[in-house]
Every structure is written in structure tokens, then in C-alpha cells.
Amino acid sequence: MDPKKITIQDIADYANVSKSTVSRVLNNTTPVNDKKREAVLRAVKDLDFEPNSLASGLAGGNSMIIGVQTQKIGSPFYDLVTRGVIHCLTDTRYSPILVDGVWDKEIELRGIDTLLRRQIDGLIIIGGDIEKEHLLRLAAKKPLLLVGREVEGLQDRCLYVDNFDIGYQATKFLIELGHRKIVHITGIKAHQDSVRRLNGYLHALKEANIPYDEDLVYEGAFDGPSGVKAIDTVISRGKKFTAVFAANDMSAFGARLALYRHGIDVPSEVSLIGIDDQTEAPYMTPPMTSVRQPAFKMGVAAGNAMLDLLMNKEIDLPKPSVQISVRESTAKAE
């Protein structure tokens, strides 16, 4: 028999059960007697049955697809969150479909429209800048989870690390080492994470009675080139500094290169700290101190929560915490 032509009825006849029993076993919807389940699974194996998951799902009102909107494929934090979601769904009947927002709101919206046209059962949005009102409308249509964002009105569907606290903890760490002239390389100006990390930086300075110097703050773009430009710019301003807090590891890597080119030693002259604790951070010269976010675990938690939502269960999203991986790129101020 051609496996592609095998039908649910063929499975039912072979196993001597009803079509509805076969459907319940294949879709894992309601409990089935162990003996009948074994008969169905044996028939599937013997007949080499290859179910069309989309077709069978749609027949039951589900596509068995979860849409995932990420922000920049290749970006370490977003990729780890996405990998966590995929890992969570691996042993389930749900399959993820990914679209990339590339930090552009219009592209984000088009990507989500594409997912909705695929009749997804649920939507996980990682980061992004889509307005609250649009997200509320999406949540009214589909099970929705937001990772890396806090949105008013959807607090119970948001899984995020406190970016204000990240900025505060990173800056406080440098202050406790005796640094008072601290450069901050921000992320993209309007990005929610950037704004909150900057506010955490400012709060730590104020708490320590350190005057704010706007010439020590440079607007970056979460990438290496902006890290290089930041250090070049601050030095061209004639500003003295003993530490750099970069909004993520990529910009910290760029800052490290610029410091090297200017003949500035890390950490004896300038300490350097980043965010994300990328896998490359321990292999920098010197190994780089970084604030670690539990990105992969956040993705797994989001995947599990989505599965619960699809089963009409209540969800209780965790409150992820961060920790500083201290390495040789930071030292006490001279």
C-alpha cells in the first residue's frame, strides 16, 4: 500500500477501532483505552502511515503551528530565546514557524500578518516595538506571549528581565570597584531595553552621588561598530574615564577593539562590562565581565506557557533574574 494514500479509515479498519478513536490517538486529545491505543499505534507503524499534521489539525480546528516573531536572527540573546522555544516544542505535536523583525516595526507587522495567514494556534513575540494597542488586539484573537517586553494590559503574558535593574547592577558593580568616570554605550535610542538600561545607569550614579556627564554617554546600536565609534567619540571629546558599561556584549566587543587601538589597557586603565554573557565573552582578551540573562530558559518557559494557554490552563510566568559573570576585564580603579 502507498503510505501517502493511507487514510484514517484504513488505520481504523486495520486496528479494528473507530475513526474517532484513531483521531483521538493521533491528535492526543482525549484519553483512549491502552489496548486500543496500542492497536492504533501498531497499525500506524505496520502501514507506514504518514499523517498530514496540518490537514489533520485543521480538521480539528487547529493548525498545530506556533508562530514565533524574533527580532534579529543572529543576535545572541534573541537566538537563545528562540532556541529555547524550539527545544520546548521538540517533543510535542506543535511546530514553530519563525519570522524576523530585524528591529523594524513595519517588517515586524508584516511578519506577524504572514504568521496569522498560516492559521497559527498561538503567537510568541520576542522583543520588538509594536504598539500596545496592536498587541492587545492580537491577544484578543490568538493566545499571545511576549518575551523581553513589559506591556501594560498584558502583564500576565509578559516574560522579561528587568532591564532597569540590569543597568543599575552593571553600573553599581563598577562603582563598587571605585570607578566614577563611567562611559555608557547605549543601545538603539528608542528601544525599550536601551531606555531602561540607561535609566538604571543614571539611578546608580545618582545613588552614589556621582554627577551625570552627558559626554560620557554615547548612543549605540547594539553592535560592534557602534562600540568602536563610542570610544573614538568619547576620546575625541577629551573626556577622561576609567570604565565602560556597554548595552550588550556586541558593543562591548567593539569598545574593546577601540581601546586596544588607542593603546588603552584593559583592565589596568579602563574596566569593561557588557550584557548577555555571550559564549565568546570568556574568550576575549582579557576575558570579559558580562551580565548574564537566562535567555534559553526564558524561551523554554515561554514555550511551556504557550502549551498551557492552548490547553486553557492558567499560566504563571517566572520572574527571571540576572547575575554578573565576573572576569578579567574589570578591576578596581587606581
Query: What's the predicted TM-score (pTM) here?
Result: 0.76
Residue 34 in grid coordinates: 491502552
Residue in the block written with cell 503551528: 65
pLDDT band at 226 (very low <50, low <70, confident <90, very high): very high
Do 153 and 168 have their domain in common?
Answer: no
Task: From 40, 16, 43, 9, select the one nearest 26 (Cα to Cα).
Answer: 40
Do 168 and 287 have their domain in common?
Answer: yes
How crowded is residue 257: how many other Cβ atoms within 10 Å of its Cβ? 16
Do 69 and 133 have their domain in common?
Answer: yes
Do 41 and 134 have their domain in common?
Answer: no
Decide if 234 is inside a domain. yes
Rg for the chain (alpha carbons), in Å? Answer: 25
Decide if 328 is inside a domain. no
pLDDT band at 141 (very low <50, low <70, confident <90, very high): confident
Decide if 327 is inside a domain. no
Alpha carbons 81 and 283: distance in angstroms, whole number = 22
Decide if 129 is inside a domain. yes
Decide if 8 is inside a domain. yes
Residue 219 in grid coordinates: 548612543
Q: pLDDT digit string (tens) for 307-332? A: 999 988 989 899 898 999 999 999 99
3-class secondary structure per residue, the chain: CCHHHCCHHHHHHHHCCCHHHHHHHHHCCCCCCHHHHHHHHHHHHHCCCCCCHHHHHHHCCCCCEEEEEECCCCCHHHHHHHHHHHHHHCCCCCEEEEEECCCCHHHHHHHHHHHHHCCCCEEEEECCCCCHHHHHHHHHHCCEEEECCCCCCCHHHEECCCHHHHHHHHHHHHHHCCCCCEEEECCCCCCHHHHHHHHHHHHHHHHCCCCCCHHHEECCCCCHHHHHHHHHHHHHCCCCCCEEEECCHHHHHHHHHHHHHCCCCCCCCCEEEEECCCCCHHHCCCCCEEEECCHHHHHHHHHHHHHHHHCCCCCCCCCCCCEEECCCCCCCCC
pLDDT, position 77:
86
Taking residues 283-291, report their average pLDDT.
97
Whole-angstrom CA distances from 28 to 3, 20, 24, 92 are: 21, 12, 5, 10
pLDDT, position 28:
62
Do 177 and 202 have their domain in common?
Answer: yes
Alpha carbons 93 and 116: distance in angstroms, whole number = 19
The whole domain housing 81 covers: 65-161+295-321
Do 224 and 283 have their domain in common?
Answer: yes
Percent of the chain with pLDDT over 90: 60
Do 154 and 300 have their domain in common?
Answer: yes
How crowded is residue 209: how many other Cβ atoms within 10 Å of its Cβ? 7
What CATH number did the domain enclosing 76 receive?
A: 3.40.50.2300
State which amino acid sits at residue 283: Y
pLDDT band at 3 (very low <50, low <70, confident <90, very high): very low
Decide if 329 is inside a domain. no
Task: From 66, 81, 84, 90, select the one nearest 128 (Cα to Cα).
Answer: 81
Higher pLDDT, 41 or 273: 273
Do 203 and 281 have their domain in common?
Answer: yes
pLDDT, position 51:
60
What value does the mean pLDDT of the chain take? 89
Q: How many domains does the chain have?
A: 3
Do 145 and 98 have their domain in common?
Answer: yes
Do 232 and 171 have their domain in common?
Answer: yes
pLDDT, position 58:
45
Alpha carbons 241 and 181: distance in angstroms, whole number = 5
Q: pLDDT digit string (tens) for 25-83? A: 776 656 788 888 888 888 888 887 766 554 555 445 577 899 999 987 878 888 999 99
Q: pLDDT digit string (tens) for 178-223? A: 999 999 999 988 888 899 999 999 999 999 999 999 999 999 999 9
Taking residues 132-148, report their average pLDDT.
92
User: 183 forms bridges with which residues in the sheet?
Assistant: 244
Do 252 and 206 have their domain in common?
Answer: yes
Do 206 and 152 have their domain in common?
Answer: no
